[in-house]
């Protein structure tokens, strides 16, 4: 196999950190041909099956993200309402069984009032609706996802759809 610089002479122009998670569906031979490109963008690369399989995996990811966001937001809103310091509670729970990437990375931003987007509210709503429609086609009831959509739509109706997904915490603290 030729060195990366031979295959991709323009990669230095955008200095990819190769941090994307790449979920692929499609023909195995085509996946093999495309793999060098995927490796420029990410290290966690998986072919999940035929056409459409990558989209199903992406929707599974978005379901986990959206419902997980509700979990940590409610936990920290509960802590605040109970008179605890949400930042201290975050420090206690983020390293244990409740831990997640979102709790570790987005909760501190939300607690600090930073709702700048990493991933937009409007985009998570779009993805959740696709996932919910797909679940209906699969004859699968996802009540957690339905709750997450309802909550994020409340965030959007307040004009925060251009904020990051951690703006869900703002909904709880401003109610």
Please give the positions annotated as active site.
Answer: 58
The Cα–Cα gap between 80 and 119 comes to 25
Which residues neighbour 50 within 8 Å (Cβ) at sequence distance 6 or greater? 25, 26, 27
Inter-residue long-range contacts of 80-84, CB under 8 Å, 24+ positions, other chains counted: 80/173
Enumerate the H helices of 8-142 as residue ranges.
11-14, 28-41, 53-81, 86-93, 101-105, 107-111, 121-137
Quote the DSSP letter at residue 105.
Answer: H
């Amino acid at each position: 196999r030729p060195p990366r610089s031979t295959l991709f002479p323009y990669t230095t122009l955008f200095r990819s950190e190769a941090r994307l998670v790449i979920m692929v569906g499609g023909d195995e031979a085509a996946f093999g041909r495309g793999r060098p490109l995927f490796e420029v963008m990410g290290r966690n690369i998986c072919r999940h099956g035929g056409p459409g399989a990558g989209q199903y995996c992406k929707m599974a990811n978005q379901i986990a993200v959206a419902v997980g966001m509700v979990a940590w937001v409610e936990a920290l809103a509960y802590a605040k309402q109970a008179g605890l310091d949400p930042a201290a509670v975050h420090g206690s729970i983020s390293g244990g069984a409740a831990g997640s990437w979102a709790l570790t990375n987005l909760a501190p931003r939300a607690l600090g009032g930073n709702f700048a987007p990493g991933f937009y509210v409007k985009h998570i709503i779009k993805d959740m609706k696709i996932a919910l429609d797909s679940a209906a086609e699969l004859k699968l009831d996802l009540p957690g996802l339905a709750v997450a959509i309802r909550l994020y739509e409340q965030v959007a109706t307040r004009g925060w759809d251009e904020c990051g997904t951690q703006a869900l915490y703002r909904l709880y603290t401003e109610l």
